């Protein structure tokens, strides 16, 4: 017997139309590439998204077509999220920080029909245009006054495209399982792989982002996503904010400490989200000036492990940190750290140790850890194994690719991370499977070693890698960058490990360098580090 409830499809335009109707005067503020601040409301955004939808139809785009974007966090990019998916097409965010060869591969693999680009990336695209045979045209996300002269074929101006278009649009009723957005993972080996999100997965994920034990966005909050819209849809924030009528503050290309703190202050930002490398810069700036954004209440930290020293620094400023873990393949939210009745009652040191874990699954995500034979391991905080996930917003395969081992077990996706899980379901990521240091049969977590180095007062950033060793298989080596003006010798940093980790985990060597290589999404580039310092 079927229930007698309305069968309303979960589709992306409904998020924005809801905000326009019930949170109509809530603002979206963007620092633009052109310079000035742009501000309007969800009513204005919905109006322009409908105009854009009409314009996209005018370009001959429709269901199943893929539209690429190379753009920062800004209002026009959000309009594209809604209009492209809204007409039944697929919004493909391309990470402009990738190598040119990867960008070319991604655009061609996805067969993007049009590319929408911020002015910043016009030169980059000019260099590639003749290698992109499937792209019919380029749209520069600016107005006529700022249109540069360009060699891009059939270059259109975004504002001219919208001008004169009706601001009404009947969003087609698409199947909630149809494709809505596409994002490629920036793997360190092989070609990037496409993750194809559906309307349904995106809407469900948006609701989960809003859970009280997740980002807890409200109509009183102002959220500034530092995490780029080309990295897993800025962790779903442009879809989640309208659900709660949360103000959106978009930093555009201005991601340095001074720009972020000043925008946070003027726009009353209460919550922000990004990877640890971004927070290193922000914290350094706050320390220098002695001023923290006055309304900032919580910072979501994910993408790489949050070092204890970073958590302490934020807490010292009265800013709550929310540690979260996920992946492009998971839309991205998997687990998030929020205290429970039980953990809140723990003594301070134990509470802090729990807060450093990556967190517990949100409703919608199930997790397990398995050993090398694929057997389930207990949730005892000690056993560690490959972390597998299952749920509403987790990919079941890669776009236009044969199944890969990660999807071998039906219903489970192998994340490539090694983790422990405690009895309450708190996950502690030990490492990426590929980065864990295997020494004499013991596994050493590179994350744990990095956290110790960063706690040294002179160290700004550190990476732990395994160096091949005849006797032990691998031995840990630390590559560290010092804080500006600080001094410490390699031997001092090595001595700092004594008593903080097991004797066998102490690094064999510390190498002090000027800077560390990062991936296009701000993570430490371990393959390159091993090449440079692992010999
Ligand atoms: P990406 O798909 O680029 O977002 O990368 C996902 C990977 O980043 C995960 O599989 C983890 O290895 C790593 N990661 C994400 N969040 C965290 C975290 N909070 N702590 C440790 N590693 C993380």
- The response to whether residue 429 sits with its C-beta less than 6 Å from ligand 1 reads yes
Least Cα distance to 210 among 174, 189, 231, 237 occurs for 237
CB atoms within 10 A of CB 255: 17
**E-assigned strands of 433-472?**
437-439, 442-444, 459-469
Q: Residue 20, SS3?
A: helix
Over residues 435-458, mean pLDDT: 93
Of 228, 303, 415, best ligand 1 pocket probe by most atoms within 8 Å of the beta carbon: 303
CB atoms within 10 A of CB 455: 16
- The response to whether residue 379 sits with its C-beta less than 6 Å from ligand 1 reads no
- The response to whether residue 386 sits with its C-beta less than 6 Å from ligand 1 reads no
CA distance 197 to 328: 10
CA distance 495 to 310: 21
Nearest ligand 1 atom to alpha carbon 431: 12
pLDDT in tens, 171-193: 999 999 999 999 999 766 678 99
Q: Residue 518, SS3?
A: strand
Q: Decide if pLDDT at 27 tops 90.
A: yes
CB atoms within 10 A of CB 520: 18
Residue 535 pLDDT = 81
**E-assigned strands of 168-297?**
179-185, 193-198, 222-225, 247-250, 271-274
**Burial letters for 358-382: b for 16+ Cβ neighbours within 10 Å, e otherwise?**
bbbbbebbebbbbeeeeeebebeee
What is the whole-number distance in angstroms between the Cα of residue 179 and the centre of ligand 1? 24
10 Å CB burial of residue 340 (0-12, 13-18, 19+) is middle
- The response to whether residue 361 sits with its C-beta less than 6 Å from ligand 1 reads no
CA distance 238 to 42: 12
Please tell me the residue having the least CA distance from ligand 1 atom 1: 327
What is the whole-number distance in angstroms between the Cα of residue 417 and the centre of ligand 1? 8
Question: Token pair for residue 164?
Answer: 């004169």
- The response to whether residue 185 sits with its C-beta less than 6 Å from ligand 1 reads yes
What is the whole-number distance in angstroms between the Cα of residue 168 and the centre of ligand 1? 40
Nearest ligand 1 atom to alpha carbon 523: 8
Question: Token pair for residue 426?
Answer: 């708190």
| Contact yes or no for 475/469 (Cβ under 8 A) | yes
**Burial letters for 94-126: b for 16+ Cβ neighbours within 10 Å, e otherwise?**
bbbbbeeebbebbbebbebbbbbbbbebbeebb
Of 134, 291, 438, 500, the catalytic one is 438
DSSP β-ladder status, 413-421 and 427-432: antiparallel
Residue 531: which pLDDT band, with cuts at 50, 70 and 90? very high
Q: Decide if pLDDT at 447 tops 80.
A: yes
CB atoms within 10 A of CB 352: 14
Say what the alpha-carbon torsion angle 306, 308, 314, 319 is, to the nearest 10 degrees.
80
10 Å CB burial of residue 78 (0-12, 13-18, 19+) is buried
Of 17, 79, 329, 461, the catalytic one is 329
Residue 438: which pLDDT band, with cuts at 50, 70 and 90? very high
pLDDT in tens, 325-345: 999 999 999 999 999 999 999
- The response to whether residue 368 sits with its C-beta less than 6 Å from ligand 1 reads no
Nearest ligand 1 atom to alpha carbon 328: 2
Residue 187 pLDDT = 65
Least Cα distance to 174 among 12, 400, 350 occurs for 12
| Contact yes or no for 240/217 (Cβ under 8 A) | yes
Residue 188 pLDDT = 61
How high does pLDDT run on average in the chain?
Answer: 96
Q: Residue 270, SS3?
A: coil
Residue 159 annotated in active site = no
Question: Token pair for residue 534?
Answer: 């692992």
Residue 344 annotated in active site = no
Question: Token pair for residue 114?
Answer: 């049009």
Nearest ligand 1 atom to alpha carbon 301: 19
Residue 17 annotated in active site = no
* Cβ neighbours for 132, distance < 8 A, ≥ 6 positions apart: 104, 107, 108, 112, 115
Strand partners, 360: 336
Nearest ligand 1 atom to alpha carbon 323: 19
Of 417, 445, 520, 526, best ligand 1 pocket probe by most atoms within 8 Å of the beta carbon: 417
* Cβ neighbours for 286, distance < 8 A, ≥ 6 positions apart: 257, 261, 292, 317
- The response to whether residue 327 sits with its C-beta less than 6 Å from ligand 1 reads yes
Q: Residue 169, SS3?
A: coil
What is the whole-number distance in angstroms between the Cα of residue 328 and the centre of ligand 1? 9
Could you tell me how far CA 277 lies from the centroid of its own chain?
A: 12
pLDDT in tens, 376-409: 999 999 999 999 999 999 999 999 998 888 999 9
DSSP β-ladder status, 333-336 and 320-326: antiparallel
Residue 450 annotated in active site = no
CA distance 276 to 278: 5
Residue 442: which pLDDT band, with cuts at 50, 70 and 90? confident
What is the whole-number distance in angstroms between the Cα of residue 327 and the centre of ligand 1? 6
Q: Residue 60, SS3?
A: coil
Residue 191 pLDDT = 86
Of 41, 443, 523, 527, the catalytic one is 443
CB atoms within 10 A of CB 36: 8
Please tell me the residue having the least CA distance from ligand 1 atom 23: 304
CB atoms within 10 A of CB 31: 25
- The response to whether residue 432 sits with its C-beta less than 6 Å from ligand 1 reads yes
pLDDT in tens, 56-98: 999 999 999 999 999 999 999 999 999 999 999 999 999 999 9
Please tell me the residue having the least CA distance from ligand 1 atom 9: 327
């Amino acid at each position: 017997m079927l229930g007698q409830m309305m069968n309303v499809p979960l589709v992306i335009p409904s998020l924005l139309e809801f905000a326009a109707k019930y949170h109509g005067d809530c603002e979206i503020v963007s620092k633009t590439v052109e310079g000035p601040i742009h501000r309007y409301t969800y009513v204005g955004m919905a109006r322009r998204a409908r105009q854009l939808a009409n314009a996209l139809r005018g370009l001959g785009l429709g269901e199943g077509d893929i539209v690429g974007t190379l753009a920062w966090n800004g209002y026009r990019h959000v309009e594209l999220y809604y209009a492209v998916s809204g007409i039944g097409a697929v919004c493909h965010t391309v990470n402009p920080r990738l190598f040119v060869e990867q960008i070319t591969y991604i655009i061609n693999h996805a067969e993007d029909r049009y590319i929408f680009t911020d002015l910043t990336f016009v030169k980059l695209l000019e260099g590639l245009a003749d290698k992109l045979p499937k792209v019919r045209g380029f749209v520069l996300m600016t107005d006529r006054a700022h249109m540069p002269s360009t060699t891009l074929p059939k270059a259109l101006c975004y504002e001219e495209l919208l001008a004169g278009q009706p601001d009404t649009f009947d969003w087609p009723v698409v199947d909630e399982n149809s494709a809505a957005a596409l994002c490629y993972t920036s793997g360190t080996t092989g070609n990037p792989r496409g993750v194809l999100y559906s309307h349904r997965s995106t809407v469900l994920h948006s609701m989960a982002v809003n859970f009280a034990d997740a980002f807890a966005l409200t109509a009183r909050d102002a959220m500034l996503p530092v995490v780029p819209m080309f990295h897993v849809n800025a962790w779903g924030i442009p879809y989640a904010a309208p659900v709660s009528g949360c103000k959106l503050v978009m930093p555009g290309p201005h991601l340095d400490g001074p720009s972020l703190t000043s925008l946070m202050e003027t726009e009353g930002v209460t919550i922000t989200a990004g990877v640890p490398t971004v927070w290193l810069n922000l914290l350094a700036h706050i320390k220098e000036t002695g001023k923290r954004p006055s309304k900032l209440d919580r910072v979501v930290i994910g993408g790489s492990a949050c070092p204890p020293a970073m958590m302490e620094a934020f807490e010292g400023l009265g800013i709550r940190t929310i540690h979260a873990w996920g992946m492009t393949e998971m839309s991205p939210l998997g687990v998030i750290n929020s205290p429970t009745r039980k953990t809140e009652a723990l003594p301070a040191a134990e509470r802090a140790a729990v807060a450093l874990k990556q967190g517990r699954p949100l409703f919608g995500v199930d997790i397990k850890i398995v050993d090398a034979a694929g057997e389930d391991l207990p949730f005892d905080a000690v056993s560690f194994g490959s972390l597998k996930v299952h749920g509403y917003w987790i990919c079941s395969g890669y776009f236009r690719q044969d199944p890969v081992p990660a999807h071998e077990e039906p219903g489970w996706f192998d994340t490539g991370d090694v983790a422990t899980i405690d009895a309450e379901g708190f996950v502690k990521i030990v490492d990426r499977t590929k980065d864990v240091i295997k020494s004499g049969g013991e596994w050493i977590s590179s994350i744990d070693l990095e956290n110790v180095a960063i706690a040294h007062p002179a160290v700004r950033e550190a990476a732990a890698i395994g160096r091949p060793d005849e006797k032990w298989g691998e031995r840990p080596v630390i590559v560290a960058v010092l804080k500006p003006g600080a001094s410490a010798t390699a031997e001092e940093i090595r001595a700092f490990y004594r008593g903080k980790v097991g004797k066998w985990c102490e690094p064999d060597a510390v190498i002090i360098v000027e800077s560390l290589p990062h991936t296009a999404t701000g993570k430490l580039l371990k393959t390159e580090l091993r090449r440079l310092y692992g010999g």
